[in-house]
Chain A
Amino acid sequence: MSQAQDTETVREDGVIESVSGPVVTAADLDARMNDVVYVGDEGLMGEVIEIEGNLTTIQVYEETSGVGPGEPVENTGEPLSVDLGPGMLDSIYDGVQRPLDVLEQKMGSAFLDRGVDAPGIDLEKTWEFSPEVSEGETVEPGDVVGTVPETVTIEHKVMVPPDYEGGEVVAIEEGSFSVEETVAELSSGEEITMHQEWPVRQARPAGDKKTPTDPLVTGQRIQDGLFPLAKGGTAAIPGPFGSGKTVTQQQLAKWSDADIVVYIGCGERGNEMTEVIEDFPELPDPQTGNPLMARTCLIANTSNMPVAARESCIYTGITIAEYYRDMGYDVALMADSTSRWAEAMREISSRLEEMPGEEGYPAYLAAALSEFYERAGLFELFNGGEGSISVVGAVSPPGGDFSEPVTQNTLRIVKTFWALDADLAEKRHFPSINWNESYSLYSQQLDPWYRENVAQDYPEIRQWAVDVLDEEAELQEIVQLVGKDALPEDQQLTLEVSRYIREAWLQQDAFNDTDTYCEPEKTYRMLQAIKTFNDEAFNALEAGVPVEEIGSVDAAPQLNRMGVAEEWNEFIDDLEDSLEEQIRELY
């Protein structure tokens, strides 16, 4: 979190009037809406959320036990902001961008103490700056003046801040600098450092939004194969507890081909975040082979950390994402879970005694959600480049009921919907994305990319799979009444084929070293192999071979082994040959 240094804007201090959980009211405080204030003798960080007469209401980002009326409230005169600059990757923050590793050192304890602040980026550390422009050139806001190797994977671009005027570069130098030292001076008198601050509740400006045409390749068959997400697109993953939201999110964070991943653990489990912290430095990025952490920024505000910081962590995350987008990177942001964020809004709102909307959520819930998701997109940048933010939000509907307000308001905005299904999870069919309920509105606009980069007939074979699954859903209804054997033979065969689509193709084992990541080519070839089985089987059926004999050829169960096959190209080639051979032998 940004520390206010601008002493002249500090306004008059107030005193606490009342305390109720995370909500504190103060009298005589001269503050603007959303100003950051320090509350009480311990200086707990808070934010102004309501002003009424002489009373100012503050949401406090830390525990308020023991804080009482009469204690001072100090205004910083600045809105809640994040520190932007090199050093954000490979970091783990709480909801107001305090680095958790620094907090551990400063507090000298494994438990989170109160009233300790720390800047979001290391202000002392020096970075190797190499200029990209030379003296005499003119730069405008958003232009890159130089680069810094931030991690092994990512080159950090030092930009003219969006609120600068710009002008001719009068001084710029290569060398080692801390983030607060000036690296370039402009004729306008403005000095550029590697450090920018930006208020989290305000979107960073960028050029026009464009229609995304590239998919965010996730390495997950059901997502890449059936319900793709575009780079710059939005997706929601709703599901009841235990349906695999977190594993799905983590899989996306691990394997998707974004340049930068911002992972927000909003009101979720502590151990889950620990898992990410322990795993990501070890795991290789499938694109570069470098550790995943080198492209990842983690924000962890677990469920037992203060509720107000849960409300702000989403904004902290998206602002960091926007900053990397401005550098021209493709950023993927995972928010797990947006329901906890909405609940934090509800909790604060009810303490303010605001008139509740649906199910107690504040009436501005829909507006807040759409404002957040609209910060995603493929943008034309001021410096002429392109950058994107893809947002994937997990939703945790109470009782798994998708008709509740958070799910419904989210669905009105996002274009990809991965519906998790408790029944599938109970059968340990993972990822438990329900193929009948889920959809992606990006399929059409991404088809050209798939045709060009994977296979010409990719959209057709995908449609074939969808048709078979649809037919299965209809047939299953009949089977439930009369049993499978009462169906005509061709329909029985369809069920057999769709079983392979489900078990061999849609199912994917996140804990198997090979199966956890599936490149689009493999996704395509696996489906093709099932199609081969389908075509051969129907030919045999027409020639009069009973369906049971077709289904029991030795090669058929091998379809289930495709996912875990390391040399998949050969494995699938061989398998297709033996399927052809064995089924043709039957007639």
Chain B
Amino acid sequence: MKEYQTITEISGPLVFAEVDEPIGYDEIVEIETPQGDTLRGQVLESSEGLVSIQVFEGTGGIDRNASVRFLGETMKMPVTEDLLGRVLDGSGNPIDGGPDIVPEEREDIVGAAINPYSREYPEEFIQTGVSAIDGMNTLVRGQKLPIFSGSGLPHNDLALQIARQATVPEEEESEEGGSEFAVIFGAMGITAEEANEFMDDFERTGALERSVVFMNLADDPAVERTVTPRMALTTAEYLAFEKGYHVLVILTDMTNYCEALREIGAAREEVPGRRGYPGYMYTDLAQLYERAGRIEGREGSVTQIPILTMPGDDDTHPIPDLTGYITEGQIMMDRDLNSQGIEPPINVSPSLSRLMDDGIGEGLTRGDHADVKDQLFAAYAEGKDLRDLVNIVGREALSETDNKYLDFADRFEEEFVQQGNDTNRTIDETLEIGWDLLSMLPKEQLNRIDEDLIEEHYREEEGETVEATAD
């Protein structure tokens, strides 16, 4: 292996070096500084005689005399089942003081695309115990469902709650612990405090045993953030498709990841796309998010819950926008609900689960699930529309039915969405609450529900008692 002391330019996270042999694109590089530190990087562009290298740990300390070694291979992640229970840094090195990792295999972190022909369509219901998700925007095994949040909203609590409670009810009884998820946690640029919060919870609930944690903290090098999720997903794919685990991957915070992409793009003097983010960000994000799913004939699955904070709560910002076009729906956190004390503050209307329709119904959840969900959505939307109006004309000017819708919307937030971070509701409980609320409305208003189901579940008394509060 040749060593070069030929650095010609250092700029931001990039180092340019002259070489006299061909170097492969994406190859891994080690740079030894005069102080004796070894930094790692990756070839971003390779041309005859000159390569540009992106250094993960930042270029501090590198000078013209630093020596550059090309390892002749692309970035690999050492994977083994023993990774479960371990805490690693953003580049995959153990930081929990435990023994070195003895890899069973070393996998390329730029995963190959799953052949769409080999995929199996995800349709196994995951019960998260959160009504706003299970009832209205159901998660299924193999789905990628991000949480769209904002700064200062409790998205971490929600992610932890899901990681703690997620089970597949069907399998709960049949296999011993068979439905528990292995959790891969990839942190990108989160604060040490947030990291502690996650670690404490993992330790408190014993979840750490079945988790692999990748930590890139806010003061770790930004460029490293571009490899952290790839490390995490490579581990997830190995555990899922080689070892048969059902893996839940939580990536937080994707916004920091995209910032890192932008930083590298700017340093390379690329033509920027929208808001300065690189034009290939869609492709880049897709290469992460699409690494979720099921494969025909394999036991395991990869389910992804990426978290991103929307700058200015704006869902048209390029990060949430591009994410939403790739992922199979989104869970939207809402600032108003949060200030009302609703826990978790999920706004179900702009939330969506694209894979829901095949994951619910008779034999999966319950036969009335789809109809109840449709009706709850429609009624809640109607109630919210009326809120705008009531501010102008007052409640007296509205009809009796309209008043019922207003009450419905309030109770929907206070009883259905609100549940607290420690409450684990079964899908039956969730749907029963749904029926309690729908029974506030006159029967003939329930036009999304099959008439037989209304006969079966509609609570006659409820309709009477609530009428009194309409004035």
Contact of B444 with A by CB under 8 A: yes
Contact of A426 with B282 at beta-carbon distance under 8 Å, contacts A113-B112, A271-B119, A304-B291 already known: no
**Interface-side segment among B60-68, B98-106, B370-378, B413-421:** B370-378
Contact of B120 with A by CB under 8 A: yes
Q: Give every chain A residue within 8 A of B21 (Cβ-Cβ).
A: 70
Cβ contact within 8 Å between A21 and B113: no
Q: Give every chain B residue within 8 A of A399 (Cβ-Cβ).
A: 315-317, 321
Question: Which residues B390-443 have CB closer than 8 A to chain A?
Answer: 392-393, 397-399, 402
Q: Give every chain B residue within 8 A of A64 (Cβ-Cβ).
A: 25-26
Contact of B381 with A by CB under 8 A: yes
Question: Which residues B136-192 have CB closer than 8 A to chain A?
Answer: 142-143
Bitwise interface map of A from 272 to 304 toward B, beta carbon under 8 Å scored 1, else 0: 111101100000000000000000000010111
Contact of A20 with B45 at beta-carbon distance under 8 Å, contacts A271-B293, A340-B282, A426-B349 already known: yes
Kindly provide the distance from the CB of B310 to the nearest chain A CB, expressed in whole angstroms: 12
Q: Give every chain B residue within 8 A of A484 (Cβ-Cβ).
A: 399, 402
> Which A residue's beta carbon lies closest to that of B140?
A271
Cβ contact within 8 Å between A110 and B273: no
Cβ contact within 8 Å between A303 and B273: no
In the complex, the number of residue pairs spanning A and B with C-beta atoms less than 8 Å apart equals 223
Contact of A586 with B by CB under 8 A: no
Contact of A482 with B by CB under 8 A: yes
Q: Give every chain A residue within 8 A of B270 (Cβ-Cβ).
A: 350
CA distance A484 to B374 in the complex (A): 25
Q: How large is the interface on B (under 10, 10 to 19, 20 to 34, 35 or more residues)?
A: 35 or more
Q: CB within 8 A of A304: which of B286, B321, B328?
A: B286
Q: CB within 8 A of B393: which of A65, A269, A347, A483?
A: A483
Q: Give every chain B residue within 8 A of A396 (Cβ-Cβ).
A: 325
Contact of B355 with A by CB under 8 A: yes
> Which B residue's beta carbon lies closest to that of A482?
B393
Contact of B6 with A by CB under 8 A: no
Cβ contact within 8 Å between A304 and B287: yes
Cβ contact within 8 Å between B290 and A304: yes
Cβ contact within 8 Å between B392 and A481: yes
Q: CB within 8 A of A398: which of B108, B121, B318, B392?
A: B318
Q: Give every chain B residue within 8 A of A246 (Cβ-Cβ).
A: 354
Cβ contact within 8 Å between A112 and B47: no
**Interface-side segment among A150-158, A198-206, A352-360:** A352-360
Question: Which residues A221-254 have CB closer than 8 A to chain B?
Answer: 240-242, 246
> Which A residue's beta carbon lies closest to that of B315?
A399
Q: Give every chain A residue within 8 A of B315 (Cβ-Cβ).
A: 399
Q: Give every chain B residue within 8 A of A303 (Cβ-Cβ).
A: 282-283, 286, 289-290, 326
Kindly provide the distance from the CB of B345 to the nearest chain A CB, expressed in whole angstroms: 17
Contact of B27 with A by CB under 8 A: yes
Q: Which of the listed residues B27, B325, B329, B358 has the most CB atoms from chain A within 10 Å of its own CB?
A: B325
CA distance A426 to B115 in the complex (A): 32
Q: Give every chain B residue within 8 A of A425 (Cβ-Cβ).
A: 352
CA distance A66 to B286 in the complex (A): 21
Contact of A18 with B298 at beta-carbon distance under 8 Å, contacts A65-B74, A68-B27, A111-B114 already known: no
Kindly provide the distance from the CB of B282 to the nearest chain A CB, expressed in whole angstroms: 6
> Which A residue's beta carbon lies closest to that of B290?
A304
Q: Give every chain B residue within 8 A of A267 (Cβ-Cβ).
A: 282, 286
Q: CB within 8 A of A275: which of B121, B289, B370?
A: B121
Q: Which of the listed residues A66, A246, A560 has the most CB atoms from chain B within 10 Å of its own CB?
A: A66
Question: Which residues B257-274 have CB closer than 8 A to chain A?
Answer: 270-274
Contact of B7 with A by CB under 8 A: no
Q: Give every chain A residue within 8 A of B48 (Cβ-Cβ).
A: 17-18, 69-70
Question: Which residues A292-329 have CB closer than 8 A to chain B?
Answer: 300, 302-305, 307
Contact of A69 with B357 at beta-carbon distance under 8 Å, contacts A100-B116, A269-B290 already known: no
Contact of A485 with B by CB under 8 A: yes
Cβ contact within 8 Å between B117 and A277: yes
Contact of A92 with B by CB under 8 A: yes
> Which B residue's beta carbon lies closest to that of A17?
B48
> Which B residue's beta carbon lies closest to that of A110?
B118
Question: Which residues A10-34 have CB closer than 8 A to chain B?
Answer: 16-21, 25
Bitwise interface map of A from 347 to 385 toward B, beta carbon under 8 Å scored 1, else 0: 100100100100110000000000000000000000000
Cβ contact within 8 Å between B113 and A18: no
Q: Give every chain B residue within 8 A of A271 (Cβ-Cβ).
A: 119, 121-122, 142-143, 293, 328, 355
Q: Give every chain B residue within 8 A of A480 (Cβ-Cβ).
A: 388-389, 392
Cβ contact within 8 Å between B321 and A428: no
Q: How large is the interface on A (under 10, 10 to 19, 20 to 34, 35 or more residues)?
A: 35 or more
Cβ contact within 8 Å between A104 and B117: yes
Cβ contact within 8 Å between B283 and A69: no
Cβ contact within 8 Å between A63 and B110: yes
> Which B residue's beta carbon lies closest to that of A509?
B374
Contact of A335 with B by CB under 8 A: no
Q: Give every chain A residue within 8 A of B115 (Cβ-Cβ).
A: 100, 103-104, 107, 110-112
Bitwise interface map of A from 419 to 430 toward B, beta carbon under 8 Å scored 1, else 0: 000100111100
Contact of A141 with B by CB under 8 A: no
Cβ contact within 8 Å between B374 and A428: yes
CA distance A241 to B389 in the complex (A): 28
Contact of A343 with B by CB under 8 A: yes
Q: Which of the listed residues B143, B279, B355, B357 has the most CB atoms from chain A within 10 Å of its own CB?
A: B279
Cβ contact within 8 Å between B117 and A483: no
Question: Which residues B443-461 have CB closer than 8 A to chain A?
Answer: 444, 447, 451
Cβ contact within 8 Å between B27 and A483: no
Q: Give every chain A residue within 8 A of B352 (Cβ-Cβ).
A: 242, 425
Q: Which of the listed residues B44, B115, B296, B355 has the most CB atoms from chain A within 10 Å of its own CB?
A: B115
Kindly provide the distance from the CB of B296 to the nearest chain A CB, expressed in whole angstroms: 7
CA distance A327 to B266 in the complex (A): 52
Kindly provide the distance from the CB of A63 to the nearest chain B CB, expressed in whole angstroms: 7
CA distance A479 to B385 in the complex (A): 11
Question: Which residues A55-101 have CB closer than 8 A to chain B?
Answer: 63-71, 92, 100-101
Cβ contact within 8 Å between A65 and B274: no
Contact of A65 with B330 at beta-carbon distance under 8 Å, contacts A302-B113, A428-B377, A483-B392 already known: no
Q: Give every chain A residue within 8 A of B290 (Cβ-Cβ).
A: 269-270, 302-304
Contact of A557 with B by CB under 8 A: yes
Q: Give every chain A residue within 8 A of B26 (Cβ-Cβ).
A: 64-66
Cβ contact within 8 Å between A560 and B350: no
Bitwise interface map of B from 37 to 80 toward A, beta carbon under 8 Å scored 1, else 0: 00000001111100000000000000000000000011000000
> Which B residue's beta carbon lies closest to that of A25?
B47
CA distance A481 to B119 in the complex (A): 52
Q: Give every chain A residue within 8 A of B311 (Cβ-Cβ).
A: none
Q: Give every chain A residue within 8 A of B298 (Cβ-Cβ).
A: 110
> Which B residue's beta carbon lies closest to that of A113?
B112
Contact of B341 with A by CB under 8 A: no
Cβ contact within 8 Å between A66 and B117: no
Contact of B111 with A by CB under 8 A: yes
Q: Give every chain B residue within 8 A of A486 (Cβ-Cβ).
A: 393, 397
Q: CB within 8 A of B113: which of A104, A112, A511?
A: A112
Question: Which residues A380-404 have CB closer than 8 A to chain B?
Answer: 396, 398-401
Bitwise interface map of A from 472 to 484 toward B, beta carbon under 8 Å scored 1, else 0: 0000000111111
Contact of A347 with B25 at beta-carbon distance under 8 Å, contacts A65-B110, A111-B114, A359-B274 already known: no
Contact of A549 with B by CB under 8 A: no
Kindly provide the distance from the CB of B321 to the nearest chain A CB, expressed in whole angstroms: 5
Contact of B324 with A by CB under 8 A: yes
Contact of A566 with B by CB under 8 A: no
Q: CB within 8 A of A241: which of B325, B392, B397?
A: B325
Cβ contact within 8 Å between B271 and A66: no
6 smallest beta-carbon distances between A and B, as pairs = A399-B316, A18-B47, A303-B286, A70-B22, A110-B118, A241-B324
Given contacts A426-B381, A486-B393, 5 further A-B contacts (CB under 8 A): A63-B110, A70-B22, A114-B112, A426-B350, A511-B370
Q: List 18 A-B contacts (CB under 8 A).
A: A64-B26, A65-B110, A67-B24, A69-B22, A69-B23, A112-B112, A275-B121, A277-B116, A278-B121, A300-B117, A303-B283, A346-B273, A398-B322, A427-B378, A428-B374, A428-B381, A482-B393, A511-B370
